[in-house]
Amino acid sequence: MSKVVCGLADIKKNSDYIVEITGMNHEGQGVGRIDNFAVFVEGATTGELVEIKLIKVAKNYGVGKLLKILRPSPSRTSPFCSAYKRCGGCSLQHIDYKAQLEYKTDLVRETVRRIGKLEDVLVHDTIGMERALNYRNKAQYPVASVKGEVVIGFYAKRSHDVIPSDECGIQDKTSNRVREIVRDFIIKNGISVYDETKGEGLVRHLMTRKGFRTGEVMVVIVINGKGLPEKQKLVEALTSNIKEVKSIMLNINTKNTNVILGEKNIKIYGSDTITDYIGKFKFDISPLSFFQVNPVQTEVLYNKALEYAGLTGKETVFDLYCGIGTISLFLSEKAKKVYGVEVVEAAVLDARKNARLNGVTNVEFMVGEAEKVVPDIYSRGVTADVVVVDPPRKGCDASLLETLVNMRPERIVYVSCNPSTLARDLGYLAEKGYRAVEVQPVDMFPHTAHVESCVLITRDEK
């Protein structure tokens, strides 16, 4: 098939084209055009001239497979991971870290302008990490048999094919050591591994968690059964080789599901939890606990939320979508009273435990959907001076935003993991008299296209 220069030929699937990459989309794919037809190219970046094969043609866009880089970007670099091209993880490894941060700043700025229709919001440069490797405190590895060989690795892009990986550059190095020991144990003791197409086999996943401040390590073996044969041999292998191991757990998951963890845990060594800190606050972490995977940047993000809250000690604060109460505890230092709301009951139980663990008495946690709980407590006369929201990727429910507008807090601090829904919600609040003053993006997940943002929103008195 012939190569054609962008703009000079009809657009045909499986044809080759030469395309100028003029930007990057929210998934980190390069964006170019063929005769004004948008094309997304994974592995390409802004400023590059590339040769592609058009592998998908939809109504308004196409997807190109990168064949050759004809003119590389100055920011292009060699990926640090041997599994980069197949793994579904770190999609931005091909550009240097400075360019990654610039991309994330531009993404937030442009999304706020385009979706939120807001032109006068100050978007700061993204706060990155001094060392953007080995930053994750939790690793989850699928376990499989590939051509008769036990593989503990990662899923390939857009599939459940498990690919081997000798070392993952964003996981804590301890997790790589644990993986080698567990794989060796499975092979030496003839332990079966799970086949998700048949629903058969014992070991499904390996999960590791590490307290970055304490050094404590938890190992969780997810099994499709009630027990693990020769488990004492695994305990001895792990504890004799990795002194930091404080907890080894079996997690029982016998359901035919993509959900990694089941609801039941069995301790086979040490304690049920490990501990870690965010700032001055201590947290007990179980296999099922939600805990931010990048503790270094979590502290940066939460300190920014506390700064934007502007607390003096007199305020009542609502912390909505509060999870295990991490932001609530930060806010409690300078607030009169904090109410945390979270829909997951287990998370609320953890939040209450964390408050007790840290001797914090001015927080109260409630179970329920924020969009239902907040209108209820507002109707009973409880109002907030400051509201902090940290919603899932879908953003805030419309009824919750309506209640916040009616309650008229002085400030809203919005912590977001999705620039698109953030921009949508900021646009709604702007129409109702709340102004987004400034946005601070924080790079919680280096080498991926994800970016967190913290936004200061004030009531416009005009």
DSSP letters of 168-230? Answer: -TTB-HHHHHHHHHHHHHHHHTT--B-BTTTTB-SEEEEEEEE-TTT--EEEEEEESSS--TT
User: Which pLDDT belongs to residue 59?
Assistant: 87
Q: Residue 81 has what pLDDT?
A: 87
CA-nearest of 308, 455, 316, 462 to 396 is 455
Same fold, 101-130+294-459 and 138-285: no
Among the listed residues 81, 322, 417, 454, the single catalytic one is 417
Q: Check pLDDT > 60 for residue 2.
A: no
- Strands 37-41 and 61-71, bridge-based pairing: parallel
Mean pLDDT computed over every residue of the chain: 93
Query: Which residue in this structure is represented by tokens 């109260």?
Result: 364
Q: What is the dihedral of CA 216, 218, 219, 222, to 10 degrees?
A: -170
Quick check: 16 pLDDT over 90? Answer: yes
pLDDT for residue 6:
45
Return the exposure string of 265-293: e unless at least 16 CB atoms fall within 10 Å of the residue's CB, then b: beebbbeebbebebbebbbbbbbbbebbb
User: Which has the minimum average pLDDT: 161-175, 358-372, 400-414?
Assistant: 161-175
Out of 160-164, 266-270, 292-296, 426-430, which region has the weakest mean confidence (pLDDT)? 160-164
Give backbone dihedrals phi and psi of 432, rounded to 5 degrees, phi first.
Answer: -105, 15
Correct CATH for 101-130+294-459 of 3.20.20.80, 1.20.1090.10, 3.40.50.150, 3.40.50.2300: 3.40.50.150
The predicted structure's pLDDT at residue 1: 39
> How much is the pLDDT for 165?
74
Asked if 343 and 369 touch (Cβ cutoff 8 Å), the reply is yes
For residue 399, count other CB atoms closer than 10 A to its CB.
14
pLDDT of residue 451: 97
81 in catalytic set: no
What is the Cα–Cα distance from 348 to 332, expressed in whole angstroms? 16
pLDDT of residue 462: 58
Element (H, E) at 103: helix 97-114
Q: What is the pLDDT of residue 277?
A: 95
Q: Which residue reads 């805990």 in tokens?
A: 291
Residue 249, Cα to own-chain centre: how many angstroms? 24
Instruction: Please list the residues that pair with 138 across neighbouring strands.
Output: 209
For residue range 325-355, list pLDDT tens digits in order.
999 999 999 999 999 999 999 899 999 999 9
Helix then strand count (H, E) for the chain reads 9, 23
Let me know if 239 is exposed, middle or buried by CB neighbors in 10 A (0-12, 13-18, 19+). middle
The topology under which CATH files domain 3-71 is OB fold (Dihydrolipoamide Acetyltransferase, E2P) (2.40.50)
Asked whether the predicted pLDDT for residue 7 surpasses 50, the reply is no
- CATH says 138-285 is which class? mainly beta
Rounded to two decimals, what is the model's pTM? 0.90
Over the stretch 97-145, which tens digit does the pLDDT of each residue have? Answer: 999 999 999 999 999 999 999 999 999 999 999 999 999 999 999 999 9
- If you ran DSSP here, which 8-state letter would residue 76 be given? B
pLDDT for the residue numbered 371: 87
In this predicted structure, which of 160-169, 236-245, 258-267, 447-456 has the lowest mean pLDDT?
160-169
What tens digit of pLDDT does each residue of 277-286 get? 999 999 999 9
Q: Where do the domains of the chain lie? A: 3-71, 101-130+294-459, 138-285
Mean predicted confidence (pLDDT) in 298-327: 95
